[in-house]
Amino acid sequence: MMNRRHLLRTTACGFGSLAFNAMASSPLADRHGHHFPKAKRVIFLFMAGGVSHVDSFDHKPKLDELDGKMLDFDDARVVAKTGMGAAQRVMKSLWPHQRRGQCGHWASELFPHMGSMVDDLTFIHSMHTEGVAHGPATIFLHTGSTAFVRPSMGAWVTYGLGTENENLPAFVSISPSMGNGGPRNYGTAFLPPVYQGTAMGRSGIPAKDSTIRNVRNELLGRAEQERQFEFISKLNRAQFQRSAAKNGGHDPEVEAVINSYELAWRLQNHAPEAFDIAKESEATKAMYGIGDGLASDNYGRQCLIARRLAEQGVRYIQVNYSDNSNNPAWDQHSNMPKHAEHAAAVDKPVWALVQDLKQRGLLEDTIVWWGGEFGRTPYSQQNGTGRDHNPGGFTVWLAGGGFKSGHSHGQTDEFGHMAVQNKVHMHDLHATILHQLGLDHEKLTFRHAGRDFRLTDVHGHVVHDILA
């Protein structure tokens, strides 16, 4: 019986030059962008539903001072419907804030672990975006458009840079939600399908039971499968020789098919191991908050898988903290204290991921991006105990990847409602992340239906102030 290594060697001999040629022209081949990159990959920690910035990293003493007072605000939802603002009840942060780290950045007790690493982070407090509801805002975050169907950011990045490891998918979304755009948030739209994100599991399925579709044949034993793959290779070669005979030994189309099988076979043999955290030490698992019964177990596993993928050269990794409902996890329209449950699930894993990347020397060329599709209002929704969506001002943070550390950029108004100083639109954030990857957002275009499309449409400015 042939083992895998032997098989690969023989197939490699059989198709040696052919496979080599195909590799060189692979649409996923690792390549440079437009300028020298500061980072090679992205890990996006998506906090679906919208974390409250005034309860976490955007400290507003004014809210304590005016807690309970009725004041006029331009509420985004009300404005979209009526074109006017309305009176709202100011609501203070539920968690005490204090200065943390060397930089003295304010952080609340909602995220004690993240608070301990403010010196590693760049905060953007002046984010603003499009879309008042989850659907449009989530799709906008991922594709730069609320209504039109556009490629997702991960697809654009892989289109621009290819991948460092063709034995793994170039773009992986871990536990994506089926709602609020679903697959569109890691889709390619009109970019070639090779840039499609690969979903690992989906939200609702525990990370320990998640897999990639079709990456293994559940019905065949390894030996049977190797025998079949060898047979397929031989059949393909026979057909190639027949069709190429008339073309001086060339038939690029059939070669491409053969090559796709080789790639698939390698993926099939590498991916399961890449996703398997069993070999990680107990200490590492503990660091990520992984353990039976721990609130952070699931997201900890997701973050640890993300680190393993980053290590192995996956270009774009999205780690979703989400669910499948229309009102995703962080969406506390009522009952703000529930934020604490979600914080308990993500705080330690996120901290561990950044620290782990740092200690392995990976942080410097990895962009870690933490944030949601929008923030929340500094006033209570309809006088209740929750906060409504706020696309007009919110906070995200970035780590590694050539960004400043212990830095904050931009401001919201004194309530944390609207971004007012050094505003950063979601388009700008997209442009800036692309910039760090060596991609010029104005040059990263794809001709489709008679026009050149970009992730940032006709917008976006690189935020140079946050670059190290």
Within positions 116 to 145, which residues make up the interface with other proteins, using CB under 8 A? 126, 132-136, 138-139
Nearest approach, Cβ of 147 to other proteins (angstroms)? 4
When asked if residue 115 is in the footprint of other proteins (CB under 8 A), the reply is: no
Work out the end-to-end distance of the chain between its first and last CA atoms, rounded to an integer number of angstroms.
55
For other proteins, the closer of residues 54 and 91 by Cβ is 91
Distance in Å, CB of 123 to other proteins, minimum: 17
Residue 441: phi and psi, rounded to 5, are -65, -20
- Within 146-175, which residues bind other proteins (CB under 8 A)? 146-149
Which residue from 8, 18, 103, 215 is in contact with other proteins, where contact means CB under 8 A? 215
The site map against other proteins for 64-83 (x = CB under 8 A) is: ------x------x-xxx-x
Q: DSSP secondary-structure letter at 192?
A: -
How many residues touch other proteins (CB under 8 A)? 102
Spatial contact of 454 and 445, defined as CB atoms under 8 Å apart: yes
Q: Among residues 3, 35, 65, 87, which is the contact residue for other proteins, using CB under 8 A?
A: 87
User: Which positions from 275 through 314 interact with other proteins, judged by CB under 8 A?
Assistant: none
Rounded distance between C-alpha atoms, residue 362 and residue 364, angstroms: 6
CB of 379 to other proteins, least distance (A): 11
Q: Does 432 bind other proteins (CB under 8 A)?
A: no
CA distance 58 to 312: 35
Separation of CA 328 from chain center: 16
Interface stretch with other proteins, choices 105-113, 297-305, 395-403, 423-431 (CB under 8 A): 423-431
SS3 390: strand
Q: Is position 181 an interface residue for other proteins (rule: CB under 8 A)?
A: yes
> Which of the stretches 2-10, 95-103, 287-295, 378-386 binds other proteins when contact is defined by CB under 8 A?
378-386
The verdict on 372 binding other proteins (CB under 8 A) reads: no
Q: Which of 5, 213, 279, 464 binds other proteins (CB under 8 A)?
A: 213
Give the one residue of 21, 211, 327, 355 binding other proteins; rule: CB under 8 A: 327
> Quick one: residue 248, left, alpha or beta (phi over 0 = left, psi -120 to 50 = alpha)?
left
Helix, strand or coil, per DSSP, at residue 5 = helix
Task: Give yes or no for residue 12 binding other proteins (CB under 8 A).
Answer: no
Q: Report how far residue 88's alpha carbon sits from residue 213's, in angstroms, rounded to the nearest whole number.
A: 47
Alpha-carbon gap, residue 84 to 415, rounded angstroms: 19
x-or-dash pattern for other proteins, window 331-370, by CB under 8 A? xxxxx-----------------------------------
| Smallest separation, CB 350 to other proteins (Å) | 22
Q: Smallest gap, in angstroms, from Cβ of residue 150 to other proteins?
A: 9
CA-nearest of 54, 75, 116, 97 to 332 is: 54
- The number of residues making up the chain comes to 468
- Environment class of residue 361 by beta-carbon count within 10 Å: exposed (0-12), middle (13-18) or buried (19+)? exposed
| Strand boundaries in 96-179, DSSP class E | 97-100, 105-108, 121-128, 171-174
Contact 373, 47 (CB under 8 A): no
Q: CA 319, CA 331: separation in Å to the nearest integer?
A: 18
Q: How far is CA 89 from CA 73, 84, 386, in A?
A: 9, 17, 11
Task: Return the number of the residue (219 or 283) whose C-beta is nearest other proteins.
Answer: 219
- Segment lying near other proteins (by CB under 8 A), choices 155-163, 227-235, 278-286, 356-364: 227-235
**222: contact with other proteins by CB under 8 A:** no
In the list 8, 71, 286, 420, the residue contacting other proteins (rule: CB under 8 A) is: 420
* 29 counts as binding other proteins under rule CB under 8 A: no
